[in-house]
Structure 1
């Protein structure tokens, strides 16, 4: 789909829906890095269409987990109403089934960090009234997407001012048995240095250096809770400010649909603290 048609689709989806609630639509966002386009779900708050058209809005990018796609969050959790409550734009891009949201040196067809962290962000900023600055952007995700959100934020501190992880697979070294992970990370024995360098715990200090507002949570019955606790402990040892929570629950949509409410609230607070909650489009 070319950009002109994609933009027309945006207008059709978002301005033919009822104006009394948030508006949800699907757009096609091209990737130069991967030479194809991918769908994404976008949720606009109610007042985006019917409010002050000079207002710009902060954006929260929400990533799906392994085996999922761009429809997961809106299909399984009442995420749309959070756009209305906190006056934010929500963007849920497609990250592939087992991409881990990295630019794989082993699979040139899997360059999802560049896609999500640069190409999607630029496309959204060019077409919507966003606050196009790091203090007006946050990124989070579940499971594989939790790892991806933290990895992308660490590698692009000039793009994202806040980041989160929900039930995140924050240490890929503990996930060697995940189907397809070696396709993007390489053989864990032969390419151990690459696996080690991508573990979030190995880069924990950078969150403070880059002044990233950080929130992490995981269910107490989740298989990833041990690696999340290790990351939390490392952040504490380094004195890195962050929000950490464990709640009852496992690796399930019941947990994730509850956790996303707290994370969006955290990001909204971050936006307000940095003075970028909403901003006039006029200069």
Structure 2
């Protein structure tokens, strides 16, 4: 699948984190993936959870800002969580954030949907084409997770967003680049609600949450109201907190437990 692949040497890895870099035509260059791989022998068809970061971030940020790999392993040892691979890719590193959209001759969407799972399956023995796929993210990554997970419902068993941007225009709250520099092929970039409506006959199970003091709370409440009016099944939760890492460190566990449900883990 990839012209070149580099993977970290287990001799120098720590805390069960692995790193993969692949060259892909979708990025017209290289892309990075940080992985938590459960240190359990003879695992096969292990579910893969893709976690997307927000603006300014990269492949390292979920692990080094939330310690999700440490928390997940502790939960697995207590049998609170089934073994799962947690994949934390970069967004492609365009500007302050690619929004996980195709633009500027690069396909950041296909990088996540196609390249990331393929790179994991090719390089991690416990992952196969039979592994269930899940996708979640925070802020811009929540926007990416909800859009891509629902658009590609045939690939993803479950979707989760934290403090999510719900329409492309909200990227202007965070990025330096003018939105017109996102030179997409689409005249109108769909909102999360529009993506859901267009896919309402084949929706995966999905949830999203937001902090009550978050600058995106009104947008998340509006999405919840729209989905409720359309009678589209979903889970929406609000918690105390702002648009910040302590909130995501706490509530990413909700994402893992949601993906861990018996119904979601069925083949």
Q: TM-score, normalised by structure 1?
A: 0.81
The answer as to whether partners of 2:140 and 2:171 remain within 8 angstroms in 1 is: no
Aligned 8 A contact 1:165 1:215 in 2: yes
Deviation at 1:206, TM superposition (A): 4.5
Report the CA distance shift for 1:70/1:201 in structure 2 as closer, same or farther (over 3 A): same
Deviation at 1:208, TM superposition (A): 4.0
The equivalent residue for 1:142 is 138
> Which of the numbers 255, 259, 281 marks the counterpart of 2:251?
259
Q: CA deviation at 1:65?
A: 0.5
Structure 2 equivalent of residue 280 of structure 1: none
Unaligned regions of 5+ residues in structure 2, if any? none
Separation (CA, whole Å) in 1 of partners of 2:186 and 2:158: 29
What RMSD over aligned residues (CA atoms) do the two structures have, in Å?
Answer: 2.4
Cross-structure match for 2:59: 70
- Alignment of 1:156 with 2:152, yes or no, is yes
> Which stretches of structure 1, 4 residues or more, deviate above 3 A after TM superposition?
2-5, 15-18, 174-178, 274-277
CA apart distance, 1:131: 4.9
* TM, length-normalised to structure 2: 0.86
Aligned positions, number:
253
Query: 2-side partners of 1:152 and 1:130: how far apart?
Result: 21
The gaps in structure 1 that reach 5 residues or longer are 278-283
Q: Out of 236, 241, 257, which is 1:244 matched to? A: 236
* Match of residue 130, structure 1, among 112, 127, 130: 127
Contact 1:160 1:212 in 2 (8 A): yes
Q: Is the 8 A contact 2:62 2:88 kept in 1?
A: yes
Q: Secondary structure at the match of 2:19?
A: strand
Greater fraction helix: 1
1:201–1:230 Cα contact (<8 Å) kept: no
From 161, 179, 182, the equivalent of 2:180 is 182
Q: 1:224 to 1:91 in 2, by over 3 A?
A: same
Question: Secondary structure of the residue that 1:114 maps to in structure 2?
Answer: helix
